[in-house]
Amino acid sequence: MAEKNYEPDLVVDSRDSTCPGPLMDLIGKVKGAESGKVLELKTTDKGSKDDVPDWLDKAGHELLEVVDRGDYWSLYVRKS
């Protein structure tokens, strides 16, 4: 699938942070963001790559795309 070029309104850089840090960083920023805003979470933690979609599903936010950047992942999220 071709990668889309999402322009994030907010970047959450959690690289080198271990589980559960990246998800907790994202939750903190999502809480403060306006509805419809796009957030990019950067993480090097494989567990968080799986946890974040689970949380988004439960909390009702949208996972737009996961991009493998080689040494980290970018998860693009839209707040509902």
Residues annotated as catalytic are 19
- 34, 58, 70, 71: which one binds another protein (CB under 8 A): 58
Write the single-letter amino acid at 1. Answer: M
Q: Which of 47, 62, 68, 69 binds another protein (CB under 8 A)?
A: 47
C-alpha separations of 25 from 1, 2, 29, 32, 67 in Å:
28, 28, 6, 11, 19
* By CB under 8 A, residue 18 contacts another protein: yes
Tokens of 24: 């907790």
The DSSP letter of residue 66 is: E
Answer yes or no whether residue 4 interacts with another protein by CB under 8 A.
no
Contact flag: residue 62 with another protein (CB under 8 A): no
CA distance 34 to 26: 14
| Site residues (vs another protein, CB under 8 A) | 16-21, 23-24, 27, 31, 47, 50-51, 54-55, 58-60
